[in-house]
Structure 1
Amino acid sequence: MKRTFYVLIATVILMACNEKSEITDYTLLTDEERLTIAKEIAQNTIMVDGHVDLPYRMKVGGFTLQREILDVSVRTDGGNFDFPRSKEGGLDAPFMSIYIPAIYQERGGAKALADSLILMTERLCDTWPDKFAIATSPDDIKRNTEAGKISFPMGMENGAALEDDINNVKYFYDRGIRYITLTHGKDNLIGDSSYDTTRTHGGLSEYGVQVVKEMNKTGIMVDISHVSDNTFYDVMKTTDVPVIASHSSARAFTPGFERNMDDDMIKALGKNGGVIMINFGGSFIDGDYNERSREVREYLVNWLADNGLSRSDSAAQAYIQKYTAENNPFPNVSKVADHIDHVKALVGIDHIGLGSDFDGVGDSLPTGLKDVSMYPNLIAELLKRGYSKEDIEKICYKNIFRVWNKVIAAAG
């Protein structure tokens, strides 16, 4: 009887749009009951994901503006994103990553690639206007969500596409870009990357300082994912508005992995008013994942050789699936919740978001968060840990909307 009572009360809470007080203790419910409530929350709360690599997935798959384009209006084979799965998971606004590999810094063509990926994203919306729509503000996302559409805000991953022309900040704003990840895998003209040990500038370059200021002036959010620690602190000294980490996690769980943020950086981000949007990738959330995954891969390579099989053989595929299931190297959804717990303990609930890196981290995604249909599993885990509906709304959209609107207001 008690359990039935709690489920009834929880349902009443979900139907009350402006309910602020915490009446239900979700920790007292069963896992099944929490998942039911989590699915309702996902369907009735705007959900923003800070980083989904669909545009580059299309490019790698051979889809172009001149030929066919990947039909993500229907359920797709492979990949982590499509319209049906987004609707199942309650995802309303995945930031489309306009990803510029570092090699384009060396051979040229970074700006042209960015333009082509933007056009490809726009073409998705033009082809299926009843399902997808570009969004350049939180208000756009609200309107699109009310119309039943998935919003495509865009963020540019790697400021190399700005090349050496500060006027390109405004150019890409006009093209719809609403955040720029300053660097990617290598140091660029803007600053140093977390993945590059060269330390070309020792942080932000002089040009990088201009870029950050111009982004503040123009209304583009500064994204510090991928930057070196020195670059991060130079951004903190330069920016006049809150910044984001669109797809980063807590280094406390991955010692030595500079791509994640350490505790002092998270505290500085909190003081700045910014948001860290937690990456779901295995190597981002679990310091032991890479070693466990390596051991499984090594065993399977040897097994294939010993049995004279290739991965494409049906017998091999069946064995690989069985062995991987029995020796699962993947973290699970609770690891993502651990990162959220950690950030909350450091700086509070107002500085956390979701930045899955779907379609960008391969098969390393945790059990229970393999694609965009599975966000309710994370919400259910947070309910189990005592998070309130209001806490979850902040993580899903309110925190990133707050930062985004401050950036818009500061730019006038």
Structure 2
Amino acid sequence: MFKHTIIALAIASITACSQDANVESPLTGKELAKKYIILDGHIDVPYRLENNWSDVTKATEGGDFDYPRAVAGGLNAPFMSIYIPAALELSGGSKELADKLIDSVEDIVNRAPDKFAIATSVADVKAQFEQGLISLPMGMENGSPIEGKMENLKHFYDRGVRYITLSHSKSNHISDSSYDPLRPSKGLTDFGKDLVVEMNNMGMLIDVSHISDDAFYQVMDITNVPVIASHSSARKFTPGFERNMDDEMLKRLKENGGVIQINYGSTFISQESRAYYDQYSADEKQFAIDNAAVPDSEIMKEFKKSYRDTRPFPFATLEDVLDHIDHVVEVAGIEHVGIGSDYDGVGDSLPTGLKDVASYPNLIDGLLARGYSEQDIEKILSGNVLRVWQIAEDYASSH
């Protein structure tokens, strides 16, 4: 009954909002970026700082995110990714690393409480926006830290995590991965199926980015609330790349009431970039074999530099990202698309025009140029994800 109610409300919202779809905004991208909440579903700051610490409460030379650039771009609610490498599923240490990365997000807030605040609810995000603070909600990328224990789900909820990407680059004890040729569970594990139910009951959003297609459809069959794909794109533009979502999945996401948040990485957006990356990976692997070289060795660093110098990487563009948004809107509707840039997570593969968190106004100007109304832009920037998050909160409060 609740699932049907969600769908009915979503359809009613779509109908009500479509009336103003062609109303042009007199404001610029920069002005709209300041007017509305911008929520980005996936930014890998914590793991970046784990590897190479810098003070993001101030301007930094590296990375894609810091406070001055976030302010310049109008970014209000970047989900801090608590990224856990897939290898830790077998070696151990997932939970410990997750707690350490959460500590690092709290440390950002503690060092600059006049700039940042932890957000654990929709109400927090809205209140902190009014206060001029940048909210730092958290999402866990890879469910490995759950370690097969439901009490760990509560532990991380209590620590502020509000979504979990069920798996990452390898299948784990929860779900098969889209990147993993081995699919031991044919989708979700039995524990994973139980976890989806408990995440619903707790108010923890389910993130279907990274998981296999079979796992996605099993989640759709089980969940009683809408899901997110926190940093995925449209497979139409990257045929065969399972990490992105195909049109049938987008249609099912619409039925569920969920949201896909578009990943900016060039290899997610452009087939030309994807093909280049696949060829580079094959050539790099062969070079390492031929030279008995290990990753991150000087000879491998020189190989990468020489390769890129002689065969420049074909970056995607802002227009390519807009094409993905257009396609999701065409297939699933304006209520089901958002932003999940993957800043600090896709290396130097970001598209031209969208190189860091100062560039959200460029995206908005692009949306305006393509005829999106101010109301629809607000939905893309944050409204759609906040709607889903609120539904998850409301469902949990009733269970």
TM-score, reference length from structure 1: 0.83
Whether 2:320 is the aligned partner of 1:329: answer no
Partner of 1:386: 371
Structure 1 contact 293–329 (Cα < 8 Å) conserved: no
**Counterpart residue type for residue 394 of structure 2:** A
Structure 2 contact 24–372 (Cα < 8 Å) conserved: no
Matches of 2:250 and 2:225, distance apart in 1? 16
Q: CA deviation at 1:292?
A: 4.1
Partner of 1:106: 90
Q: 1:311 to 1:186 in 2, by over 3 A?
A: closer
Partner of 2:343: 358
Structure 1 contact 296–329 (Cα < 8 Å) conserved: no
Structure 2 contact 22–372 (Cα < 8 Å) conserved: no
Q: CA deviation at 1:191?
A: 1.2
Partner of 2:107: 123
Partner of 1:307: none
| 2:245 corresponds to which of 261, 264, 268 | 261
Partner of 1:180: 164
Matches of 1:22 and 1:121, distance apart in 2? 38
Q: CA deviation at 1:204?
A: 0.7
Partner of 1:250: 234
Partner of 1:11: none
| SS, match of residue 28 in structure 2 | helix
**Counterpart residue type for residue 222 of structure 1:** I
**Counterpart residue type for residue 143 of structure 2:** G
Q: CA deviation at 1:290?
A: 3.4
Q: CA deviation at 1:294?
A: 7.5
Q: Which runs of no fewer than 5 residues in structure 1 stay unpaired?
A: 1-19, 27-33, 64-69, 303-309
Matches of 1:133 and 1:210, distance apart in 2? 32
| SS, match of residue 167 in structure 1 | helix
**Counterpart residue type for residue 229 of structure 1:** D
Q: 1:294 to 1:408 in 2, by over 3 A?
A: closer
Matches of 1:250 and 1:142, distance apart in 2? 29
Partner of 2:388: 403
Number of corresponding residues = 365
Bigger RCO of structures 1 and 2 (CA < 8 A, at least 6 apart)? 2
Matches of 2:239 and 2:275, distance apart in 1? 14
* TM-superposition CA deviations, 1:39-59 (whole Å, max 9, x none): 100011100000000000001
Matches of 2:47 and 2:391, distance apart in 1? 29
Q: 1:392 to 1:23 in 2, by over 3 A?
A: closer
Q: 1:329 to 1:350 in 2, by over 3 A?
A: same
Q: 1:160 to 1:293 in 2, by over 3 A?
A: closer
How big is the alpha-carbon RMSD for the aligned residues of Structure 1 and Structure 2?
2.6
Q: 1:321 to 1:198 in 2, by over 3 A?
A: closer
| SS, match of residue 82 in structure 2 | strand
Whether 2:68 is the aligned partner of 1:84: answer yes
Whether 2:29 is the aligned partner of 1:46: answer no
**Identical columns (%):** 53
Matches of 2:160 and 2:348, distance apart in 1? 30
Structure 1's consecutive aligned runs of 4 or more residues displaced over 2 angstroms after TM superposition are 20-26, 290-298, 310-313, 319-324
Matches of 2:280 and 2:189, distance apart in 1? 42
Q: Which residues in structure 2 correspond to 1:199-218 (within 5 Å)?
A: 199-218=183-202
* TM-superposition CA deviations, 1:85-124 (whole Å, max 9, x none): 0011110000000001011101101111100000110011
**Counterpart residue type for residue 106 of structure 1:** L
Matches of 1:207 and 1:291, distance apart in 2? 36
Structure showing greater radius of gyration is 1
Task: Identify which range, 138-147 or 193-202, moves more after superposition.
Answer: 138-147
Matches of 1:104 and 1:24, distance apart in 2? 50
**Counterpart residue type for residue 218 of structure 1:** M
Q: CA deviation at 1:144?
A: 1.2
Matches of 2:88 and 2:62, distance apart in 1? 27
Partner of 1:152: 136
Whether 2:122 is the aligned partner of 1:138: answer yes
Partner of 1:17: none
| SS, match of residue 71 in structure 1 | coil
**Counterpart residue type for residue 191 of structure 2:** Y
Matches of 1:284 and 1:213, distance apart in 2? 30
Matches of 1:354 and 1:287, distance apart in 2? 20
Matches of 1:349 and 1:283, distance apart in 2? 24
| 2:176 corresponds to which of 178, 186, 192 | 192
**Counterpart residue type for residue 189 of structure 1:** H
| SS, match of residue 240 in structure 1 | coil
Q: CA deviation at 1:139?
A: 1.0
| 1:339 corresponds to which of 313, 324, 327 | 324
**Counterpart residue type for residue 80 of structure 1:** D
| 1:373 corresponds to which of 335, 358, 377 | 358
| SS, match of residue 190 in structure 1 | coil
Structure 1 contact 330–365 (Cα < 8 Å) conserved: yes
Task: Identify which range, 257-266 or 140-149, moves more after superposition.
Answer: 140-149
Partner of 1:12: none
Structure 2 contact 21–372 (Cα < 8 Å) conserved: no
Task: Identify which range, 110-119 or 286-295, moves more after superposition.
Answer: 286-295
Partner of 1:291: 275
Whether 2:228 is the aligned partner of 1:237: answer no
Q: 1:202 to 1:293 in 2, by over 3 A?
A: closer
Task: Identify which range, 142-151 or 242-251, moves more after superposition.
Answer: 142-151
Partner of 1:3: none
Matches of 1:246 and 1:380, distance apart in 2? 23
Q: 1:260 to 1:322 in 2, by over 3 A?
A: closer
Q: 1:361 to 1:328 in 2, by over 3 A?
A: closer
